[in-house]
């Protein structure tokens, strides 16, 4: 009897194993893996990938990692198990595109975007979205005090901006500004504008590296630092700026306790966790300048897909990955996935869906007007950390502007600029 | 069966130590040797080629001022943390073996911090230093508390030390408790009959017999402090101005964030050598003077 029972059990278990094992075979034979490095859209990605997979009859798996993108890519390539499709930062495409990415020059979408990445004339990077930096504002908070409709175009110059700040202070908002002390915000985002807003960006970087740039007497540097000084002066965390936590500052901005903070449309993913107002936006950093940079945001394509070109990825997989990219650009479902589900600003001109978040709307407006100053994507990998630390010292009042300029100059003299 | 043949010994060894040896080779020795090889290349971690560059990475490591600063900082941090951890742990152990009421409860309680992972612990304490203490300081207008310690260079180091002591003291306490318990009561009584006070007996009889516990605790705390990473990452993240970056964190940044894989690996190796020298010397000195009852 016992034997009979165990035999029956064994049969049942084997049967169940076979059924489970058979499922993927029934569904399809192409399966692709996608690496997502934009953590805030992971759940949307997973959901959409499942739908997409069912519709197209292929198998799609979405992964993400909390590691830095480059470190994670290194792990996957070291184990010869690269993703079919990887979402990376612009600098990663420059550093690994030639060796690891598939040539996408012949793809139709190349004609519908200004933000693709090519290395030596070959397109490797598919832009996921557009992101831009500037001064975030909470118009509700401003209008509640001034009683007038807030129009950011009226505050292009630092003088006009200072007057507004004075008005806000008079109206009871004692400290209308927040400053993110994170090294990436100060070093990679604010300081980089000093390079990006130069007339000859490449020439300026070369002169920094060669040691001939005189940063402390540079017009752009001083113009931006003048503005930064005003922000610092009115920082709600002025007494201990380095202790200000990003979440706290974003909450204050969302809820109108402060009115301004330097940032970008990625900040929406933090702001939308709080009791925010829709009446917010991004404006150019006010500066007393005539060169027009105070009418533009700084930004461009952000996060890039590339397709693996190694033997680990079959031609069918590469084709499936190309199809997926085309779907993102040309299929209505793909378009609304980017603009509505993920609330990203589309990088493709044929995608006319309105962006769902207020900061994104501002970015879209400036992008459509051609008022985006391009990112400088070739800073060495340690730039944000080392120069960010110098900037933090300046923010904390440990060094003055001249000392700060010297530290930046010293950094560039000692580093090797990224070839591109 | 013959027990002194080679094949029998090999079989015995493989049976008991085989799995562990294989694992040890796979996850410690092989990566170590491979890592050593990588220090002679200028690999960026992802490229297909690994160009051989000889000793260039070691030269770069020796020239990397930020690395030596981080290492110096790690020395200072370790020195203070190791002393404090062991003093606190010893006192706690003394307390919970002295027969106070509910001592088992206290033993468990002091040990709990060690069960919380370093990352979580860092975030919890970050909240305490950045918000809780600051609110208390502002409410009672205590100057030293009204701004966050984490925002200043020395403050961030102090915070790291406080958290490390809090984390490790409980664990080391357990080892000291075991040490206290291993000393026979009779010796203590004999000393007291001979006229020692209780504290004299502890100092002159119990403590020397606990030498093994001290050696063990010091070794554990020294190596852990030198290699500190998780608390460093979640509590200060190297801030402010990269002034609280410890050696391990600098190595990680160098290799993975700045993408100088070879240099990072070379710096890791230097850290290993320094750590090994300190650890082994300490154990050697500690073992030499061990006494038995």
**What does the buried/exposed string (b/e) look like for A266-292 if buried means 16 or more CB atoms within 10 Å of the residue's CB?**
bbbbbbeeeebeeebbbbbbbbbbeee
Least confident of A11-20, A90-99, A273-282, B141-150: A11-20
Least confident of A256-260, A356-360, B147-151: B147-151
Q: Which A positions 240-269 lie with beta carbon below 8 A of chain B?
A: 240-243, 245
Q: With cut-offs at 50, 70 and 90, classify the pLDDT of residue A15.
A: low
Give the model confidence (pLDDT) of A358-387 as tens digits: 898 899 889 888 888 988 888 888 898 899
Contact B151 A380 (CB under 8 A): no
Q: With cut-offs at 50, 70 and 90, classify the pLDDT of residue A25.
A: very low
Residues 6+ apart with CB under 8 A from A258: A138, A141, A173, A175, A176, A177, A178, A236, A249, A252
Q: With cut-offs at 50, 70 and 90, classify the pLDDT of residue A22.
A: very low
pLDDT for B287: 79
Chain B positions touching A70 (Cβ under 8 A) are: 45-46, 256-257, 259
Structure tokens at B70: 């981080």
pLDDT at residue A24 tops 70: no
Q: Nearest CA of chain A to the CA of B46: how many Å?
A: 5
Residues 6+ apart with CB under 8 A from B210: B176, B179, B180, B182, B183
Contact B257 A382 (CB under 8 A): yes
Q: With cut-offs at 50, 70 and 90, classify the pLDDT of residue B30.
A: very high
A96 closest CA partner among A78, A115, A114:
A78
Contact B151 A100 (CB under 8 A): no
B130 in contact with chain A, both atoms CB, cutoff 8 A: yes
Cross-chain CB nearest to A385 (options B130, B147, B253): B253
The DSSP code for A144 is H
Q: Which residue of B has its CA nearest to A240?
A: B147
Contact B147 A240 (CB under 8 A): yes
| Percent of chain A whose predicted confidence (pLDDT) is above 70 | 93
Q: How far apart are CA A37 and CA B202, in angstroms?
A: 59
For chain B, the maximum distance between any two Cα atoms, rounded to a whole number of angstroms, is 81
A311 in contact with chain B, both atoms CB, cutoff 8 A: no
The residue extents of the domains of chain B are: 64-288
pLDDT at residue B189 tops 90: no
3-state secondary structure of B51: coil
Residues 6+ apart with CB under 8 A from A405: A215, A216, A221
* Whether the bond into A223 is cis, omega within 30 of 0: no
Question: What average pLDDT does the segment B38-46 reach?
Answer: 81
pLDDT at residue A253 tops 50: yes
Contact A183 B259 (CB under 8 A): no
A273 closest CA partner among A257, A258, A251:
A251
Specify whether the CB–CB gap between A321 and A32 falls below 8 A: yes
pLDDT for A1: 52
Q: Nearest CA of chain B to the CA of A156: how many Å?
A: 31
Instruction: Tell the CATH superfamily of the B64-288 domain.
Output: MetI-like (1.10.3720.10)
pLDDT for B13: 87
Question: What average pLDDT does the segment A80-101 reach?
Answer: 87
Structure tokens at A291: 């060169």
Contact A240 B253 (CB under 8 A): no
A183 in contact with chain B, both atoms CB, cutoff 8 A: yes
Cross-chain CB nearest to B46 (options A67, A77, A240): A77
| Percent of chain B whose predicted confidence (pLDDT) is above 70 | 98
Whether the CA torsion A283, A132, A180, A233 is positive or negative: it is: negative
Whether the CA torsion B238, B243, B247, B253 is positive or negative: it is: positive
Chain A positions touching B243 (Cβ under 8 A) are: 389
Contact B241 A99 (CB under 8 A): no
Q: How far apart are CA B68 and CA A197, in angstroms?
A: 36
Written in H, E and C, the secondary structure of B187-231 is HHHHHHHCCCCHHHHHHHHHHHHCHHHHHHHHHHHHHHHHCCCHH
pLDDT for B292: 62
A73 in contact with chain B, both atoms CB, cutoff 8 A: yes
Q: Which residue of A has its CA nearest to B44?
A: A74
B288 in contact with chain A, both atoms CB, cutoff 8 A: no
Average pLDDT, chain A: 86
B230 in contact with chain A, both atoms CB, cutoff 8 A: no
Q: Nearest CA of chain A to the CA of B99: how many Å?
A: 44
Is the pTM value of this prediction over 0.90?
Answer: no
Question: What average pLDDT does the segment A99-107 reach?
Answer: 88
Chosen from B45, B66, B154 to mutate, greatest number of chain A CBs within 10 A: B45
Q: How far apart are CA A139 and CA A277, in angstroms?
A: 9
Q: Which residue of B has its CA nearest to A380?
A: B258
Give the model confidence (pLDDT) of A215-250 as tens digits: 888 888 999 999 999 999 999 988 888 888 888 899
pLDDT for A239: 82
Q: With cut-offs at 50, 70 and 90, classify the pLDDT of residue A8.
A: low
Cross-chain CB nearest to A74 (options B46, B240, B243): B46
B241 in contact with chain A, both atoms CB, cutoff 8 A: yes
User: What is the C-alpha R_g of chain B?
Assistant: 24
Contact B148 A71 (CB under 8 A): no
* A–B interface: beta-carbon pairs under 8 A: 74
Q: Nearest CA of chain A to the CA of B21: how many Å?
A: 23
User: What is the C-alpha R_g of chain A?
Assistant: 25
pLDDT at residue A20 tops 60: no
ipTM for the predicted complex = 0.77
Least confident of A21-35, A51-65, A265-279: A21-35
Contact A243 B241 (CB under 8 A): no
pLDDT for A18: 46
B218 closest CA partner among B76, B79, B70:
B79
Q: Nearest CA of chain A to the CA of B20: how many Å?
A: 24
Chain B positions touching A415 (Cβ under 8 A) are: none
Structure tokens at B43: 């690999």
Specify whether the CB–CB gap between A215 and A245 falls below 8 A: no
Cross-chain CB nearest to B46 (options A70, A239, A393): A70
Structure tokens at A76: 């996957």
Contact A74 B151 (CB under 8 A): no
Give the model confidence (pLDDT) of B69-124 as tens digits: 899 999 999 999 999 999 999 999 988 887 788 888 888 888 888 888 778 888 88
Which whole-number Å values give the CA distances from A197 to A294, A369, B280, in the listed order? 10, 18, 56
Question: What average pLDDT does the segment A36-56 reach?
Answer: 87
Structure tokens at B36: 């050593």
Q: Nearest CA of chain B to the CA of A17: how many Å?
A: 30
pLDDT for A3: 61
**What angle separates helix A401-414 from helix A219-233, to the nearest 10 degrees?**
130
Q: With cut-offs at 50, 70 and 90, classify the pLDDT of residue B139.
A: confident
Contact A392 B253 (CB under 8 A): no
Specify whether the CB–CB gap between B106 and B91 falls below 8 A: no
Q: How far apart are CA B116 and CA B126, in angstroms?
A: 15
The DSSP code for A311 is T
Chain B positions touching A390 (Cβ under 8 A) are: 241
Q: Nearest CA of chain A to the CA of B80: how many Å?
A: 25
Q: Which residue of A has its CA nearest to B244?
A: A389
Contact A183 B253 (CB under 8 A): no
Q: Nearest CA of chain A to the CA of B29: how many Å?
A: 18
**What does the buried/exposed string (b/e) look like for A109-147 if buried means 16 or more CB atoms within 10 Å of the residue's CB?**
beebbebbbbbeeebbbbbbbbbbbbbbbbbbbbeebee
């Amino acid at each position: 009897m016992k034997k009979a029972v165990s035999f029956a059990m064994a049969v049942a278990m084997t049967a169940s194993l076979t059924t489970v094992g058979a499922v993927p075979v029934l569904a399809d034979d192409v399966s692709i893996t996608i690496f997502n490095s934009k953590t805030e859209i992971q759940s949307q990605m997973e959901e959409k990938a499942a739908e997409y997979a069912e519709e197209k009859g292929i198998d799609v798996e979405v992964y993400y990692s909390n590691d830095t993108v480059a470190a994670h890519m290194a792990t996957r390539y070291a184990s010869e198990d690269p993703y079919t499709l990887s979402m990376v930062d612009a600098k990663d495409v420059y550093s690994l595109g030639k060796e690891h990415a598939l040539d996408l020059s012949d793809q139709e979408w190349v004609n519908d975007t200004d933000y693709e990445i090519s290395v030596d004339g070959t397109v490797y990077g598919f832009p996921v979205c557009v992101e831009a930096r500037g001064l975030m504002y909470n118009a509700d908070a401003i209008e509640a005090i001034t009683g007038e409709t807030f129009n950011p175009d009226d505050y292009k110059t630092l003088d006009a901006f200072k007057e507004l700040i004075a008005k806000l202070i008079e109206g009871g908002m004692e400290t209308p500004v927040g400053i993110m002390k994170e090294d990436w915000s100060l070093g990679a985002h604010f300081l980089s504008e000093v390079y990006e807003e130069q007339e000859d960006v490449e020439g300026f970087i070369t002169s920094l590296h060669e040691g001939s740039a005189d940063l402390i007497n540079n017009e752009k540097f001083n113009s931006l630092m003048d503005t930064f000084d005003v922000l610092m002066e009115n920082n709600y965390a002025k007494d201990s700026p380095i202790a200000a936590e990003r979440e706290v500052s974003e909450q204050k901005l969302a809820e109108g306790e402060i009115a301004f903070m330097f940032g970008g449309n990625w900040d929406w993913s933090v702001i939308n966790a709080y009791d925010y107002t829709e009446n917010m936006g991004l404006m150019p950093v006010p500066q007393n300048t005539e060169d027009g940079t105070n009418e533009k945001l700084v930004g461009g394509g952000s996060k890039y897909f590339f397709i693996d070109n190694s033997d680990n990825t079959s031609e069918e997989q590469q084709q499936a990955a190309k199809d997926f990219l085309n779907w993102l650009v040309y299929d209505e479902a793909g378009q609304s996935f980017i603009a509505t589900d993920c609330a990203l600003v589309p990088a493709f001109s044929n995608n006319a869906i309105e962006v769902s978040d207020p900061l994104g709307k501002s970015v879209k407006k400036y992008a459509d007007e051609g008022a985006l100053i391009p990112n400088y994507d070739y800073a060495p990998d340690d730039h944000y950390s080392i120069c960010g630390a110098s900037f933090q010292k300046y923010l904390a009042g440990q060094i003055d502007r001249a000392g700060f300029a010297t530290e930046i100059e010293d950094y560039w003299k000692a580093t090797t600029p990224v070839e591109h | 069966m013959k027990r002194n043949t080679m094949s029998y010994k090999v079989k015995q060894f493989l049976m008991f130590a085989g799995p562990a040896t294989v694992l040890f080779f796979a996850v410690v020795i092989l990566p170590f040797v491979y890592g050593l090889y990588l220090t002679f290349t200028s690999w960026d971690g992802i490229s297909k080629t690994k160009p051989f560059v000889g000793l260039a990475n070691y030269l770069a490591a020796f020239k990397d001022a930020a690395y030596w600063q981080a290492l110096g900082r790690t020395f200072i941090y370790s020195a203070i943390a190791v002393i404090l951890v062991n003093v606190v742990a010893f006192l706690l152990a003394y307390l919970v073996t002295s027969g106070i009421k509910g001592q088992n409860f206290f033993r468990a309680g002091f040990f709990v911090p060690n069960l919380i992972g370093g990352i979580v612990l860092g975030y919890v304490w970050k909240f305490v230093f950045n918000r809780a203490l600051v609110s208390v300081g502002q409410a009672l207008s205590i100057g030293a508390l009204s701004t966050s310690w984490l925002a200043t260079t020395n403050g961030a180091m102090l915070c790291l030390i406080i958290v490390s002591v809090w984390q490790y003291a409980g664990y080391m306490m357990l080892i000291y408790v075991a040490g206290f318990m291993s000393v026979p009561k009779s010796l203590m009584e004999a000393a007291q009959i001979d006229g020692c006070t209780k504290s004299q007996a502890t100092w002159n009889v119990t403590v020397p017999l606990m030498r093994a516990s001290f050696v063990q605790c010091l070794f554990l705390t020294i190596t852990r402090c030198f290699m500190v990473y998780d608390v460093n990452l979640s509590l200060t993240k190297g801030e402010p101005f990269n002034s609280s970056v410890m050696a391990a964190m600098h190595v990680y940044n160098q290799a993975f964030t700045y993408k100088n894989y070879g240099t990072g690996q070379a710096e890791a190796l230097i850290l290993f050598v320094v750590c090994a020298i300190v650890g082994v010397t300490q154990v050697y000195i500690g073992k030499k003077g061990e006494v038995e009852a």
